Amino acid sequence: MATAAVKMIGVVGSGQMGSGIAQVAAVAGFDVWLLDSDPVALQRAEKAIAASVQHLVSKGQLSQLAGTNLLNHLRYTSSLEDLKSADVIIEAIVESEVIKKKLFSELDRIAKVSAILASNTSSISITRLASSTSRPAQVIGMHFMNPPPVMKLIEIVRGADTSDEVFITIKNLAERFGKTVICSQDFPGFIVNRILMPMINEAFFALYTGVATKEDIDTGMKLGTNHPLGPLQLADFIGLDICLSILKVLHEGLGDSKYIPCPLLVQYVDAGRLGRKRGIGVYNYQNRSPLAKPLSSL
């Protein structure tokens, strides 16, 4: 499928990633269906996108007319059947291989024959996700960075059977979104998280073994290596459960002990201290204003 033939895009999952991806696609002029099985989550996403667009208008980065047109490109649904006319469907749900494969099987059933199925997974094998469909040549990884409207990178991952045509279509589509593209082979963690997660894990080990306080670890990395956020702050923004999930994928997929998750990270997740989304992780956010410019790889 040529990129010019892409008219309608479906996005499955209305969390921070899914709603951000939907906004990016609408900004680029595509008609977009944003789907979530939870109507409350869908309503929350609609309000968040509207607020984001209004913020851009108020800052003069978008005209009122352009903002209205953008919102008119977006539709919201809880029915997979509404995606049957989509040319590209981007999955952005929970980072679980079992759940993603079930969704891909369902999408394969309802999507039109020519549709491309893309996953925003940050670590799970595209080849294995594709195996749950009858169209493995049309399955590809399209890993956006968080938050999608702000971050300029998309990591494209080809499965074992992804066709050249599908790769070119998705690469061109990402560039139409205004993003810079990097390409990874289908290995655990791909490029960004293969490098980032061991750093975050090592920061947890430094805290766990008493090398330094969380504040000094983060300050050291921010001022010593010019990172916009310290690794523990970044872990809180990503979600400690997601960090743990990716580390498990790296450890299981690569079989190297250096990827074994730090016991402190495991303990925090077991305690429900998942980061900013729960109000507490490494840091307590219940009485804090959000970070001005959150950056992460997920």
Element (H, E) at 154: strand 153-158
Instruction: Give me the catalytic one of 14, 52, 122, 132.
Output: 122
DSSP 82: G
Task: Mark whether 91 is an active-site residue.
Answer: no
Catalytic residue of the set 95, 119, 123, 143: 143
Residue of 52, 119, 163, 193 with catalytic role: 193
- Side-by-side strand order, sheet with 139-144: 74-77, 31-35, 8-12, 88-91, 116-119, 139-144, 153-158, 180-184
Query: Is 122 an annotated catalytic residue?
Result: yes
Pick the catalytic residue from 155, 201, 245, 297: 155
Helix 192-208 vs helix 263-270: crossing angle, to nearest 10: 90
Which helix (H) or strand (E) is 33 found in, with range? strand 31-35
State yes or no: is 134 an active-site residue.
Answer: no
Buried b (16+ CB within 10 A) or exposed e, 80-100: bebbbebbbbbbbbebebeeb
Three-class SS state of 31: strand
Instruction: For residue 106, indicate whether it is catalytic.
Output: no
- How is 174-188 classified by DSSP, letter by letter? HHHTT-EEEEE-S-T
Catalytic residues: 122, 143, 155, 193
